[in-house]
Amino acid sequence: MQSRTPASRTGRPRSAAADTAILAATREALVELGWSKLTLGDVATRAGVAKTTLYRRWAGKPELVCDAVAELFDELELPDRGSLAADIEGVVLQFAAILARPEAKSGLMAVVAESTRDDALRERIRTSIVERQMRLVLQGRARAQSRGELPPEPDPEESARTVDLIFDVVAGAVVHRTLVSGKPADEEWVRDFTRVLLLGLTSSA
Amino acid sequence: MQSRTPASRTGRPRSAAADTAILAATREALVELGWSKLTLGDVATRAGVAKTTLYRRWAGKPELVCDAVAELFDELELPDRGSLAADIEGVVLQFAAILARPEAKSGLMAVVAESTRDDALRERIRTSIVERQMRLVLQGRARAQSRGELPPEPDPEESARTVDLIFDVVAGAVVHRTLVSGKPADEEWVRDFTRVLLLGLTSSA
DNA sequence: GGCATTACGCTACGAGTCGTAGCGAAAGCT
DNA sequence: AGCTTTCGCTACGACTCGTAGCGTAATGCC
């Protein structure tokens, strides 16, 4: 996870199997115990490693859970469904399915909460979780522009602003629906959401 | 906070001053320490009460912080600015201003994270925080419909669905912008957001 | 093969927090 | 007065934290 790319090529290498076992054990503990009752000692036991090994690789609970949750978003992709609306509905449903899993629910929000007082953690979240989602927005937008469904954006600065805005609206709505309102972001909801996102409130039938 | 309305009218009454002092001390501790380092013992010391008094009134840290954060949203209101767009911009800016405060940042997300495994806490959040925000959406929607800016919704079930959707989009976007992306929801962003919400992505200039 | 270097498992430890119990005193009501 | 409930205080066992120290295992370099 933490790139030790060129440095330190001597000595016993770190067990890659331990990494995957620890991250899997972390998700398992998140499901069974939730964020607040999850302890690093328990995770170490589940993973079959010593507690000290855990502390050698991760600074603390937030960093560990961040990495464990980040892997959940690996499966996100943007299949070409032919139209911008269909593309949005597809990726939002994928995103909602991940957020519905208990390990994502209890882990993600807690890590974000911690990141409000920890800049390094915020950056870690950005690179390992947010950026992966942001790529889909960029991809979908480019595809829609090539289809002519969205107007091209000549100004790069305004373009970046728009992408940021869309991302916050889409991700924020799904997260809020799932975690705050506590209701499922099912197909019906996603259909309504996509219509509002594309056409706005004023054009609602 | 917890309505002891009809029961137990005998004996020494609970100090109302202690309640306000405890909640204020909780917010102060949230600012200085953040959620994870906040301890109930420290809050009790700041408030000038005994730790046992705290435990007699609140079940634990999540419930206490929930009540302390909820009071931050008391100041939310919906002044009539003449148009739906202006109303939205106004209330979103208020909401963003509250979320920008450190006690809201570190407290709100952590409590929501805890609520994913605690139904009673989720209900407490709903009644003390979410419902207060939801009222503004209902109010703004009714006002816009009476102005003719939004079409009337005859079906009550679909109407409720739409209100839920709007609420998740608005609140989710502001929260995500402020806490995940870590950028301010300033006037420029709110203007862009309102335009997308009302007109949709496809009509962007 | 031998050597330096790093990772690993294990144990133990001080520090800190948790939530509760028990007590005497204070502040209301009837 | 007497009754009832709350308050402040102290003390407590249980738990988690994060680290230190040690001997052992696994690699690269000579």
Could you report the per-residue pLDDT of B160-183, keeping only the tens digit for each? Answer: 999 999 999 999 999 999 999 999
Contact B1, B66 (CB under 8 A): no
Per-residue pLDDT tens digits of chain A, which is 205 residues long: 443 334 457 889 999 999 999 999 999 999 999 999 999 999 999 999 999 999 999 999 999 999 999 999 999 999 999 999 999 999 999 999 999 999 999 999 999 999 999 999 999 999 999 999 999 999 999 999 999 999 998 999 999 999 999 999 999 999 999 999 999 999 999 999 999 999 999 875 5
- Nearest nucleotide, CA B14 to C1': D6
Axis crossing angle, helix B156-175 with helix A156-175, rounded to the nearest 10: 120
Contacts of A134 (CB under 8 A, 6+ apart): A163, A167
Tell me whether residues A175 and B177 touch, CB distance under 8 A. no
Q: Which of A35, A172, A196 sits opposite B176 (nearest CB)?
A: A172
Q: Which of B128, B169, B179, B188 to mutate to test the interface with A (most CBs of A within 10 A)?
A: B169
C1’ D5 / CA B41, Å:
23
Cα→Cα distances B10→A93, A122, B4, B6, Å: 55, 51, 12, 11
Both tokens of A46, joined, read 């589940």
> Which residue places its CA closest to the C1' of nucleotide D18?
A55
Residues A33, A26: Cα–Cα separation, whole Å = 10
CA at B55, C1' at C19: how many angstroms apart?
8
For tokens 């010391």, the residue is: B45
pLDDT at B5 over 80: no
Contact assessment for residue B109 and residue A118, using Cβ atoms and an 8 Å cutoff = no
What domains can you pick out in chain A, each with its CATH number? 16-57 (1.10.10.60), 69-199 (1.10.357.10)
A181–B167: do the CB atoms touch at under 8 Å? yes
Inspect the interface and report whether the beta carbons of B196 and A109 lie closer than 8 Å: no
* Backbone Cα Rg of chain A: 20
Place B1 in a pLDDT band, splitting at 50, 70 and 90: very low
Q: Tens digit of pLDDT for each residue in B112-159?
A: 999 999 999 999 999 999 999 999 999 999 999 999 999 998 999 999
Cite residues whose beta carbon is less than 7 Å from strand C. Answer: A 8, 10-15, 18, 48-53, 56-57; B 9-13, 39-42, 51-52, 55, 60-61
Mutate to test the interface with B, among A114, A143, A168, A190 (most CBs of B within 10 A): A168
B126-156 as b/e: b if 16+ CB within 10 A: eebbbeebbebbeebbebbeeeebbeebeee
pLDDT for position B9? 72
Question: Strand C nucleotides below 7 A of a protein CB?
Answer: 4-12, 16-22, 26-30
* Residues in CB range of B136: below 8 A, 6 or more apart: B76, B77, B78, B91
Residue B3 has pLDDT above 50, yes or no: no
- Tokens of residue B63, six digits: 């419930």
What number of CA atoms fall less than 13 Å from residue B124's CA on the CB side?
25
* Amino acid B13 CA to nucleotide D8 C1' distance, rounded Å: 16
Sequence-ordered list of residues with C-beta below 8 angstroms from that of B174, at least 6 positions apart, any chain: A172, B92, B95, B96, B99, B185
> For residue A146, what is the enclosing H or E element?
helix A131-147
What CA–CA distances, in Å, run from A119 to A114, A116, B186? 10, 7, 21
Instruction: Please state, in angstroms and rounded to a whole number, the distance separating the CA atoms of residues A121 and B64.
Output: 26
Give the tokens for residue B98: 């509250």
User: Cβ contact (<8 Å) for A200 and B204?
Assistant: no
Question: Which nucleotide's C1' is closest to B56 (Cα)?
Answer: D6
Distances in Å between the Cα of B131 and the Cα atoms of B3, B77, B94, B122, B124 are 17, 13, 16, 12, 10
Task: Dig out the tokens for B159 from the structure.
Answer: 């109407």
pLDDT digits (tens, 9 = 90+) for B71-113: 999 999 999 999 999 999 999 999 999 999 999 999 999 999 9
* Lookup: nucleotide whose C1' is closest to A41 CA: D16
From the Cβ of B46, is strand D under 7 Å away?
A: no
Distance between CA atoms of residues A66 and A132, nearest Å: 14
Q: How far is B173 from chain A (nearest CA, A)?
A: 4
B45: nearest nucleotide, CA–C1' criterion: D8
